[in-house]
Structure 1
Amino acid sequence: MTSSVTPQWVSSYPPGLSAHLAVDATSLVDAWRRRVAAAPDRSAIAYFDGTVSARRLDGLSDAFAAALQDRGVTHGDRIGILMQNVPQYAISFLALWKLGAIAVLLNPMYQGRELRHLVDDSGVRGIIADDQLHPATVETVEGSRVEWIVTTSGLEYQTRGDPRVFGAHAAAQPSPDGDMAQLIHEYEGRRPTEPGLALDDIALLTYTSGTTGPPKGAMNTHGNILTVATTTAAWMGVEPGDSHLAVAPLFHITGAVIGAATPLLHDTTLVFVNRTDPAVVVDAFAEHRVTCTTGSITVFNALHRVEGAGAEHFASARTLYSGGAPIPPATVEQFRERFGKYIHNIYGMTETTSAVIAVPPGVDAPVDEASGSLSIGLPMPNLEARIVDPAGTPLPTGHQGELELAGPQIVPGYWHNPQATAGTMPEGRLRTGDVAVMDEDGWVYIVDRLKDQINVSGYKVWPREVEDVLYEHPAVYEAAVVGRPDPYRGETVVAYVSVKGGETVAEEDLIEFTKQRLAAYKYPRTINVIDELPKTQTGKIRRRVLRDTPQEDDT
């Protein structure tokens, strides 16, 4: 933080927590080694009926790191990870960090050019992929700089084979470039030669859509992640032996940092359930005595719908957090009424390395009288937060403006994109693009977004990306995409199109067209074919008019 004055919100912090928390580890690897030394035989991972101790996980990641090092992977290399929430994600993180390499988080829902853009922009040398995704990945990266694809199976590290997750799933043919399990077996007992690591070394390259162009790679450093892991663990009251369930996808910054790095570095068990199935998650809470999880509004809505789920399944839970979008008060109360647990809001961005504002555990967030929205929380330790006008001048308490953040959680910039870095983080201060209000006690309320991005279940959707796909359809003349409030996803994608003269197209056909070309959360659930899109006098399509247009189901 840049100010030595204690902020007013610290008085509402969890007991014993101060405005400043020191990070004493020199790197993520140093922090991990300390965790292993403190309790080597404590469970570090649970995956259905399988468990992995901290000592064993250290050995597995050492062996995999040694194998990758023999392939030439070295400090600063970018290696993609393309898989669901499985133990191999943790192995890959630790192995890459031990080499000083950068883990590039790749969304397994991405297809074709979506994935290829990230591969090309980051310049990944290799990819660690789920074996089920191998054939499509090979096709996507053909002609790129990718030298190898090592595969792994979600069936490993467990024997239960829960049909709700795996169905008739069988391990696919391993990649000719190598299989993770086989490589670990071949290199068992070996340790890599570790480079000297510094807090400003990049640990993750996490892609986020900006307001003016394609996805940009945020450079999350060892120091960024250590700061957030330290403050989050202190904020949530993490204790040795706790059990943290990873429901947020690890290819997303929330899952990578709160869901994985924080429990891995703090002597707790990281519980994996592969692809999130609501009924499986409910069972995992009870089986593994889960104490904490962070997920999107969609996850908690889905849990609420699981038949037979009751308060007994969540008896061990101390803290439940929801990120990605503020939860409506009604959702919080419905969940608490059924399960006896309060869902706390938590706020972060890819550029803040995840959580930086949160509701303290055991505290009900205040509700803004004007909008009826729940507060997203208080600024967490080591963060400077303020509301500013368009010129960057701080505004008085209670005034609407843009939320601006500064502190060691903020990334140093975007990968090979100094122009975007300067525009979004002038002088290291992050302009979030969120319109917010802060009250006299430091509670922050999100009022609106400056951006046109759509927030679907915690994932960001850039309208231009969807529009570009619609324009590929031969019948489409003009297209505009907006977000609409959705009780299940937070927001849903809605498109408006006009067609070329003499052409006709069914809305269902357009939906299917986009579905085949976009990640599942991106394609429009509703497409309206209209005669003409509203425009300004200069010919620009007026998205706001479309956003405010009533739908048939609104009446």
Structure 2
Amino acid sequence: MSVYDEKPWLAIYDEGQPAEITPEFGDALEMFRASVARDPDGDIIRYFDGRITLRELDELTDAFASGLLDTGFSAGDRVALYLQNVPQFLIGLVGTWKAGGVAVSINPMNRERELELLLNDSGARVLVCLEGLYREVAANVVGRTAVQTVLTTSELEYQTRNDERIFAGVQRIAFDDTVDMAGLIERFRGQQPPAVSFTADDTAFLTYTSGTTGPPKGAMNTHGNVVFNSTAYRQWCSLGADDVVLGVAPLFHITGLIAHVTISLLLGAPLVLFYRFEPSVAIETIRDNKTTFTVGSITVFIALMNAPNADKDALASLTKIWSGGAPIPPSTVKAFSSAFGQYIHNIYGLTETTSPSHGVPRDAEAPVDDASGALSVGVPIYNTVCRIVGDDGEDLPPGEIGEIVTTGPQIVKGYWNKPEETGNAIPGGALHTGDVGYMDAQGWFYIVDRKKDQINAGGYKVWPREVEDVLYEHDAVREAAVVGVPDEYRGETVKAYVSLRPGKTAEEAELIEFCKQRMAAYKYPRRVEFLDEIPKTVTGKLLRRELRARNQA
């Protein structure tokens, strides 16, 4: 019997916390309807000074769905949501489900080439986008896609505050060749679409992989995946209807979709949105709304620590914090806890795991591996089995490094229209994550790095995260990214890109010496380059491929 069959991590769970859960809803729409029935007049969205209740969201999404169906939209058709963190995202998502469709979440930072690729890959018939994005990007693209209807909307709607820090220069724009989303909803207000229901295997939305290692692929997150991991968040993070969710993760990303949108729909708890992340606005939003729970990349919490209006009282209500999507330096967790008195729990998952597969239990703190300095990403969540496998596909014992392979109810059924890639990545329903890590003897899991990011320095293997974690210990370093670059002597050597904290200074030789004193000779960076900002995806993942490309020109 494999050590993984013994599930040693079960001892880590809180006493009385179940090892398995059974979601009570068959699909995500049923989950939402139950919350409407429970508390129709409770807030479900807060957007600056705007409020939308569950009853109002139900009515808005009925109208949206009725409008979609009037255009000839059919069950199984796709609606692309090309939006920032605005209420229209939830209206579009739930309204698409009510029309029997599949939502396609698209990064609002995507430009013409990227948008065209995703619209064509998904075959979306309807595009919902912000007016500014239509004028600047989508207007030049939709004619080359299957999109038949474009609904435009504004970030100024559903609120009146118009904070200049967020909305400077934003104005309403009318187009002759699009349908105004607010006008469509008003036209069909009071109408109800025919009732629909989904099976657990039906696709709820397509979320595209971030493309950090190759072209994006559309992961088919099913209604069963969504309901399961929404329920898992509720149980794992001890959440209830009295919680208030802070929407710091982009809603198009799997973290925002599950840890913000669908957990709020399940709980009937308010989701607080503020268009896009701005640290000072975020601090005020937390204080004014007394938000209690969030999940965000570690770069969010680094930014909050450095915000000019950050103080312990402002963040006092935010007692349930998890971070995922990017590696967490242990030094940052300590600094945040020291500043605000709140512990950042690690959580780990991928687009293909519909958000979490591992997490640190609420009443626990993640251990740090003595040898590597890595912070544990936690233990497998409910109903989930994770294995560490070697290159031969066989299970490895605790402490041995290999690829993480995950099975559970949150694993997607595959990639949209890519059966060969589905078979390669998810054979038999077991997700081969591409992440390299290990499990310790107590059942805690650690991520070492992505397979493709390993550096081969003269035959010695170097994992970038280990070097980055050391750099984060220097008090001048705000962010760090390490890559392998060509070297005539060693074939490849270690280079660090660093951004500094405000008001702090450091020299290249100083940081090299700092690392040299703390790690093996083959690991420390031979070069350091300073940048104002480290390139990242919108969800906070380091874009190491962009940094490598700088050295290959």
Which TM-score band applies after superposition, normalised by the shorter structure?
0.7 to 0.9
Take 2:230 and 2:306, find their aligned partners in 1: how far apart are those partners? 31
Q: 2:402 maps to what in 1?
A: 401
Q: Could you tell me whether the CA contact under 8 Å between 1:494 and 1:525 is conserved in 2? A: no
CA–CA separation in structure 1 for the residues paired with 2:244 and 2:275:
16
CA offsets per residue over residues 195-243 of structure 1, 9 Å max, x none?
Answer: 3311111011011156874211100000001111000111111111210
- 8 Å CA contact 1:434–1:451 kept in 2: the answer is no
Match of 1:285 in 2: 286
Aligned to 1:425: 426
Match of 1:297 in 2: 298
Q: C-alpha separation between the residues in 2 aligned to 1:528 and 1:206?
A: 26
Rate the CA distance shift 1:323–1:107 in 2: closer, same or farther, 3 A. Answer: same
Q: 1:63 touches 1:184 (CA, 8 Å); kept in 2? A: yes
Change in Cα spacing, 1:519 to 1:381, as seen in structure 2 (3 Å) is: closer
Number of the residue aligned with 2:451 = 450
Gap change, CA 1:495 and 1:101, over 3 Å in 2: farther
Give the 3 Å change call, closer, same or farther, for CA 496–84 of structure 1 in structure 2.
Answer: farther
- Specify the SS of the correspondent of 1:20: coil
**Which residue is 1:102 aligned to?**
102
Q: Which residue of 1 aligns with 2:514?
A: none
Q: CA deviation at 1:275?
A: 1.0
Is the alpha carbon distance of 1:139 and 1:66 closer, same or farther for their aligned partners in structure 2, counting shifts above 3 Å?
Answer: same
The amino acid across from 1:18 in the alignment is P
Q: Mark the CA change 1:210 to 1:285 in structure 2 (over 3 Å): closer, same or farther.
A: closer
- SS across alignment from 1:313: coil
Residues 488 and 255 of structure 1: is their aligned pair in 2 closer, same or farther, counting only changes over 3 Å?
Answer: farther
Pair 1:27-2:27 in alignment: yes
* Cα deviations by residue, 1:57-92 (Å, 9 ceiling, x for unpaired): 111111111111111222111110001001111111
Secondary structure in 2 aligned to 1:312? Answer: coil
Q: Does 1:227 align with 2:200?
A: no
1:168 correspondence with 2:133: no
1:69 aligns with 2:66: no
Instruction: For 1:380, give the aligned amino acid.
Output: I
Shift in alpha-carbon separation, 1:249–1:211, aligned structure 2, 3 A: closer
C-alpha change, 1:385 and 1:528, in structure 2 (3 Å) is: closer
Q: Tell me, yes or no, if the aligned pair for 1:494 and 1:526 is still in contact at 8 Å.
A: no
Local SS of the residue matching 1:242: coil
Asked if the contact 2:294–2:321 (Cα under 8 Å) also holds between the matched residues in 1, the reply is yes
**2:499 aligns to what?**
none
- Judged with a 3 Å threshold, the aligned counterparts in structure 2 of structure 1 residues 528 and 139 are, in CA distance, closer, same or farther, namely closer
Aligned to 2:521: none
1:297-376 superposed matches below 5 A: 297-376=298-377
- Count of residues in Structure 1 that have an aligned counterpart in Structure 2: 487
What is the alpha-carbon distance in structure 1 between the residues aligned to residue 180 and residue 212 of structure 2? 39
Q: Deviation at 1:176? A: 3.1
| Aligned match of 2:82 | 82
- Does the CA contact (< 8 Å) of 1:493 and 1:522 recur in 2? no
**What amino acid does structure 2 have at the position aligned with 1:104?**
V
Instruction: Flag the 1:490–1:349 CA change in 2: closer, same or farther, 3 A.
Output: farther
1:507 match:
none
Gap change, CA 1:496 and 1:302, over 3 Å in 2: farther
**Inter-partner Cα distance in structure 1 for 2:320 and 2:286:** 12
2:378 is the counterpart of 1:392: no
- Does the 8 Å CA contact 2:243/2:270 hold for their aligned counterparts? yes
* Distance in 2 of aligned mates of 1:126 and 1:494: 42
Secondary structure, aligned partner of 2:207: strand
Partner residue in 2 for 1:51? 51
1:231-271 Cα distance to aligned partner (Å, 9 max, x none) = 01111111112100111101111111112111121121101
TM-aligned CA distance change 1:187 to 1:244, over 3 Å: same
Q: Which residue of 2 aligns with 1:113?
A: 113
Secondary structure of the residue aligned to 1:63 is: helix
Deviations 1:140-164 (A, max 9, x none): 2222211121011111111111111
Displacement, 1:326? 2.5
In the TM superposition, residue 174 of structure 1 has moved relative to its aligned partner by: 4.5
1:9 counterpart residue number: 9
Gaps of 5+ in 1: 455-481, 498-514, 534-555
Distance 1:490 1:327, change over 3 A: farther
Corresponding position: 1:201 with 2:210: no
**Helix, strand or coil for the counterpart of 1:183?**
helix
* Structure 2 counterpart of 1:60: 60
Instruction: Report the secondary structure of 1:409's partner residue.
Output: coil
Quote the RMSD (CA, aligned, Å): 2.9
The one-letter amino acid of 1:170's match is Q
Residue 441 of structure 1: CA displacement? 2.0
The structural deviation recorded for 1:495 is: 8.5
- In structure 1, C-alpha distance between the alignment counterparts of 2:405 and 2:229, rounded to whole Å: 17
Alpha-carbon distance change, 267 to 72 in structure 1, aligned in 2, over 3 angstroms = same
| Cα distance change of structure 1 residues 258 and 527 upon mapping to structure 2, 3 Å threshold | closer
Contact 1:27 1:226 in 2 (8 A): yes
Provide Cα deviations, 1:285-322, integer angstroms capped at 9, x if missing partner: 11111000111111111111111211111111121111
1:138 aligns with 2:144: no
* Contact persistence 1:257–1:353 (CA under 8 A): yes
SS at match of 1:279: helix
How big is the shift at 1:496? Answer: 8.1
- Counterpart CA distance in 1 for 2:3 and 2:196 is 34
Q: Is the 8 A contact 1:112 1:140 kept in 2?
A: yes
1:56 to 1:493, Cα distance in 2 relative to 1, 3 A: farther
* Cα separation, 2, equivalents of 1:523 and 1:449: 11
Tell me how far apart the structure 2 counterparts of residues 333 and 233 of structure 1 sit (CA, whole Å): 26
Shift of 1:44: 0.5
Deviations 1:520-548 (A, max 9, x none): 88698868877x88xxxxxxxxxxxxxxx
In the TM superposition, residue 8 of structure 1 has moved relative to its aligned partner by: 2.3
Q: 3-state DSSP class of the match of 1:33?
A: helix
Contact 1:295/1:322 (8 A) holds in 2: yes
* 2:103 matches 1:91: no
CA distance in 1, matches of 2:440, 2:545: 37
Q: What letter corresponds to residue 63 of structure 1 in structure 2? A: A
Give the alignment's TM-score, normalised by structure 2. Answer: 0.83
Q: Which residue of 2 aligns with 1:440?
A: 441
User: Secondary structure of 2:74's partner?
Assistant: coil
Secondary structure of residue in 2 paired with 1:392: coil
Q: Secondary structure at the match of 1:24?
A: coil
Residue 194 of structure 1 and its aligned partner are, at CA, apart by: 2.8
Tell me, yes or no, if the aligned pair for 2:230 and 2:263 is still in contact at 8 Å: yes
**Cα drift, residue 362 of structure 1:** 3.2
Q: Distance in 2 between matches of 1:442 and 1:175?
A: 59
The residue type equivalent to 1:404 in the other structure is: V
- What CA distance in whole angstroms lies between the structure 1 residues aligned with 2:8 and 2:546? 44
Q: Percent identity?
A: 43
Decide whether the 8 Å contact of 2:81 with 2:128 is kept in 1: yes
Q: Which runs of 5+ in 2 are unaligned?
A: 456-463, 488-532
